Amino acid sequence: MMLGKTGKASLGLLLMVCAILPTKSAWSSGWELVFSDEFDGDKLDRNKWATRYIYNNETMDHFNDEKERYRDSHILSNGVLSLVAKKMEGGDLFGSAMIRSHRTFYYGYYEARVFLPNAKGVWPAFWLEADYDIDGKTWHPPEIDIFEYVINGVEDKANSLHSNVVAPFNEKQYTYVDKDFLLKYQNMYASEDLNLGWHIVGFVWAPDRISMFWDGKLVYTRMYQWKRNDGQLGPPAHVDLNFAVGGAWAGRHGIDDVAFPQSFKIDYVRVCQFTESDKGASQCGPAQVTPDPKEFGYSTTINDMPKPAFLPVKVLGEQQQANGVLSVKGADPLKLEIPIDVPENYPSNRRLQVWVYDPTARSMVTTVERKLQESTVKKRADGASVVELSLPALQRTGNLVLDAKLVAETTDDKGARQVLPSPITCRTDVAQPIKARSCRLLTLEAR
């Protein structure tokens, strides 16, 4: 094709315009990093992680007949989190460690770089567990075991890795199976031991299927839906990484006590969710390996369960407030406006409970309660519901805290009445986990 002078001039102008105009990224959809921890500090970030299971009021430190008891037996050093298991004095138990994310998710790509332990009786795992539902209840199932690494010396050895979901086994649900994954046991078998070096485990959880990856290699894809036993969508999931020891599986043929202490090492944890916006990328953060979002992306309208958000409190009166700290005279009443961003169609049977707590004396100072209904709240221009409260004079000095939560009356599986805190989001001026069952509104300096 030949261009005359006019054509060449037009082409030159077009190229100039294209060079000046901003160009759109080649990835207009893909993975968006929504949660991560590189473990670069010297302390575990407690605003990201808890160190016990969610059950028993978030104090459960083991399951069933396992021999570990979770304590804060973790070490951060050189950008690595080590969950350390070692024999406790005076018995057959092991002190160990785990982390559970405060953040919750629906779906996404989950990745961790890990170094696995090496002793008969070890049972480290990376898994997704159902959190609280909208009423504050827990459900099981659903559960996804991204991997469980068990060495019992007979059925499960150092070259095998288990990956599965809590659901009836159905071979027909698998649409891809690698030659090294034995469906009968839902186990991957490698040619060498898996605890000889670092490995990257990845997992795509989509609304209708799951896919597991080991060092970037697809191990299996299975059709799966995150459902409760009653067939309803389960609560959102949090992330667990734990180091169990013994029990009926890992300890079936004994535990090699003299091989401990042992460490389950974690270089990083990252969670990405698929987005069709310009925030999407081909990689999940600074990942070395990531499943192609064009192949493993998914469509969904939810990425988490909507939760009411506590916003920064407004103090009425002459008290001085700055950065979440309020200086208050103990003899003065405390008047507050508490704004809450309530999701659309959120249940109306919630009660707001606000209290002042003395952490030194470990005692409640005062508490007040209001119904969270349209008739008892005001609306701000931004749509937030505002509850006005007046707390009586504190009648004491020292450093106190002002906390709040939403509670609702519900029933358990047997029909018994129970009052539970509802899951909420904390966006106040006080640094704390963003997802919780109660929020710190202010730190009070009473004088």
**Structural domain for 148, as ranges:** 30-296
In angstroms, the CA 394 to CA 331 distance is 6
Which pTM value belongs to this model?
A: 0.91
pLDDT digits (tens, 9 = 90+) for 246-274: 999 999 999 999 999 999 999 999 999 99
pLDDT digits (tens, 9 = 90+) for 373-402: 766 688 999 999 999 999 988 888 899 999
- Shared domain for 120 and 248, answered yes or no, is yes
| DSSP 8-state class, residue 13 | H
Q: For 38-42, 328-332, 347-351, 417-421, which range has the lowest pLDDT when averaged over its residues?
A: 328-332
In angstroms, the CA 437 to CA 282 distance is 35
CATH assignment of the domain containing 406: 2.60.40
CATH assignment of the domain containing 253: 2.60.120.200
In a domain, 86, yes or no: yes
pLDDT digits (tens, 9 = 90+) for 7-33: 444 444 443 434 444 444 445 799 999
Among 251, 274, 296, identify where a domain stops. Answer: 296
- Shared domain for 201 and 316, answered yes or no, is no
Among 296, 319, 345, identify where a domain stops. Answer: 296
Query: Which uninterrupted H or E stretch holds 204?
Result: strand 199-205
- Shared domain for 206 and 321, answered yes or no, is no
- Shared domain for 192 and 326, answered yes or no, is no
- Shared domain for 238 and 315, answered yes or no, is no
The reported pLDDT for the residue numbered 395 is 82
- Shared domain for 251 and 116, answered yes or no, is yes
- Shared domain for 286 and 407, answered yes or no, is no
In a domain, 20, yes or no: no
- Shared domain for 272 and 365, answered yes or no, is no
In angstroms, the CA 16 to CA 127 distance is 52
The reported pLDDT for the residue numbered 21 is 41
Distances (CA, A) of 398 to 315, 329, 334, 431: 19, 10, 16, 20
Among 296, 319, 336, identify where a domain stops. Answer: 296
- Shared domain for 337 and 239, answered yes or no, is no
- Shared domain for 263 and 346, answered yes or no, is no
In a domain, 173, yes or no: yes
The reported pLDDT for the residue numbered 372 is 84
In a domain, 146, yes or no: yes
Predicted confidence band of residue 195 (pLDDT cuts 50, 70, 90)? very high
In a domain, 232, yes or no: yes
Burial track 91-124 (b if 16+ CB lie within 10 A, e otherwise) = eebbbbbbbbbbbbbbbbbbbbbbbbbbbbbbbb
Predicted confidence band of residue 366 (pLDDT cuts 50, 70, 90)? very high
Residues 337-345, mean pLDDT to the nearest whole number: 95
In a domain, 302, yes or no: no
The reported pLDDT for the residue numbered 27 is 52
Query: Which uninterrupted H or E stretch holds 427?
Result: none
In angstroms, the CA 129 to CA 139 distance is 9
- Shared domain for 317 and 411, answered yes or no, is yes
Q: How is residue 313 written in tokens?
A: 């409190």
Burial track 299-335 (b if 16+ CB lie within 10 A, e otherwise) = eeeebbbebbbbbebebeeebebeebebebeeeeebe
Q: What are phi and psi of 93, to 5 degrees?
A: -95, 160
The reported pLDDT for the residue numbered 336 is 92
> Domain tally for the chain?
2
DSSP letter string, 401-421: EEEEEEEEEEE-TTS-EEEEE
Average pLDDT, the chain: 92
Torsion of CA 393, 384, 277, 292, to 10 degrees: 50
Per DSSP, the three-state class of 293 is helix
In a domain, 264, yes or no: yes
- Shared domain for 291 and 313, answered yes or no, is no
In a domain, 25, yes or no: no
In angstroms, the CA 275 to CA 277 distance is 5
pLDDT digits (tens, 9 = 90+) for 42-80: 999 999 999 999 999 999 999 999 999 999 999 999 999
